[in-house]
Amino acid sequence: MKIAILSRNKKLYSTRRLMEACTERGHEVIVLDALRCYMDIAPSKPEVHWKGESIPTFDAVIPRIGASVTFYGTAVLRQFEMMGAFPLNESVAITRSRDKLRSLQLLARRGIGLPNTGYANDPDDIKDLIKMVGGAPLVIKLLEGTQGIGVVLAETNKAAESVIEAFMGLKANIMVQEYIKEAGGADIRCLVIGDKVVAAMKRQAPPGEFRSNLHRGGSASLVKITPTERATAVKAARVMGLNVAGVDILRSGRGPLVMEVNSSPGLEGIENATGKDVAAMIIQFIEKNAKPNRTRTKGKG
């Protein structure tokens, strides 16, 4: 098979591992920087160009599109979909999962457990917004934040009011969530491929920190998840329409609560923590499912 990986840096661990897995399984692989691709959007023959040349279509495309380039990156992926390539994750599904507010609304509609979440636009509504999610301590999140950046824990209602007012004053889009104390600064990252959780790790925040992101100094360890957690992760990925997803779950007194569904989960932490060859599993999924023009959305929507 001819497989393209949309990634801005072939030296990144996840990109490198996917390249290795493709080569080991006998596939031809190329890494393309999505921002260097440009498109001929023609009804009869859509094309993608790169470095002055038209790129022939691929059997499959693996999108490793960073959050900061979602708009352009998904446009390039959509073009490949229109050319008949099989996307590991579809452009529409990636866009859906990157919209934190919309993704939570979709998950809630399907009855998936979530932390109580509030969203408002007017500073006059702040007091009721805080009350709505159960009061302090609570977590305030920038909708555009990634890797724990733009996430604040407010210990008191007054502190929460001040932080929310400051964000609103900067015209930043934020949401407010209840703080799950019993999680103890830890969450579970479930790596879903297809309809299975193939690997899971516990991410623990360092002392004095509540964010468990590995980029923020958190540690990763192997964890055994419950059948309910496994079913929740698979359902959350399915609601987003993602074939491969990192589903972040908090363990609470009322069961597993989904924090986020990531469409480009990093492989380094989970492969090191579990010892599993997740990259090879991803390529095996492509081998089993990649067929021309199999994109459900056909580039639409």
* pLDDT confidence band for 78 (50 / 70 / 90): very high
How does strand 2-6 pair with strand 28-32? parallel
Nearest one of 258, 269, 264 to 232, comparing CA atoms: 258
Kindly report, residue by residue over 212-269, the tens digit of the pLDDT.
Answer: 566 555 778 899 999 999 999 999 999 999 999 999 999 999 999 999 999 999 999 9
What domains does the chain contain, in order, with CATH numbers? 2-95 (3.40.50.20), 117-179 (3.30.1490.20), 182-285 (3.30.470.20)
Reply yes or no: is the peptide bond before residue 137 cis, omega within 30 of 0: yes
Report the predicted TM-score, pTM, of the whole model to 2 decimal places: 0.89
Percent of the chain residues past pLDDT 90, beyond the cut: 73
Phi-psi region of 88 (alpha: psi -120 to 50; beta: other; left: phi over 0): alpha
| Residue 204 to residue 29: CA distance in whole angstroms | 35
**DSSP letter (8 states) at residue 264:** S
pLDDT at position 298 is 44
pLDDT at 301 over 50: no
* pLDDT confidence band for 44 (50 / 70 / 90): confident
pLDDT at position 299 is 40
Contacts of 100 (CB under 8 A, 6+ apart): 141, 143, 175, 260
